[in-house]
Amino acid sequence: ETGVTQSPTHLIKTRGQQVTLRCSSQSGHNTVSWYQQALGQGPQFIFQYYREEENGRGNFPPRFSGLQFPNYSSELNVNALELDDSALYLCASSRLADIANEQYFGPGTRLTVT
């Protein structure tokens, strides 16, 4: 088990609603990344936060946004939910200075949009 925790475990929302997912980093890690894993697919990079700022983003629309707090925990917000947003959302933490860029994953939040 890593020290990365995520909440909630499962969530059901209706199309058009907004959702907030939460992540606590492993101790000593200052970087948080978020990934979306659709059924039968590998995780896809959404964005990364370092020192409370977004420092990298994947191919996701602006309705996917995030925050990182001074204690390095993080939130992923998704507005105007669409059916295709149904997926497992993974949070991963790391030390940006780690040359091997090893990321430690949390258990994920399963989001279902109906």
Partner 1 sequence: AQSVSQHNHHVILSEAASLELGCNYSYGGTVNLFWYVQYPGQHLQLLLKYFSGDPLVKGIKGFEAEFIKSKFSFNLRKPSVQWSDTAEYFCAVTPLNTGFQKLVFGTGTRLLVSP
Q: Using CB under 8 A as the criterion, which residues of the chain lie in contact with partner 1 when the complex forms? A: 1-2, 4, 31, 33, 35, 40-45, 48, 50, 55-56, 58, 90, 92, 94, 96, 99-108
Rounded least distance, CB 48 to partner 1, Å = 5
> In the chain, what's the furthest Cα-to-Cα distance?
41
Instruction: Compute CA distances 24 → 5, 16, 73, 91, whole Å.
Output: 5, 27, 4, 9
> Nearer to partner 1 by C-beta: 24 or 81?
24
Which residues fall within 8 angstroms of residue 62, CB to CB, at 6 or more apart?
none
> Nearer to partner 1 by C-beta: 11 or 58?
58
How far apart are the C-alpha atoms of 55 and 39, rounded to whole Å?
27
Rounded least distance, CB 14 to partner 1, Å = 28
C-beta of residue 103 within 8 angstroms of C-beta of residue 81: no
> Nearer to partner 1 by C-beta: 81 or 109?
109
Rounded least distance, CB 75 to partner 1, Å = 19
> Nearer to partner 1 by C-beta: 14 or 99?
99
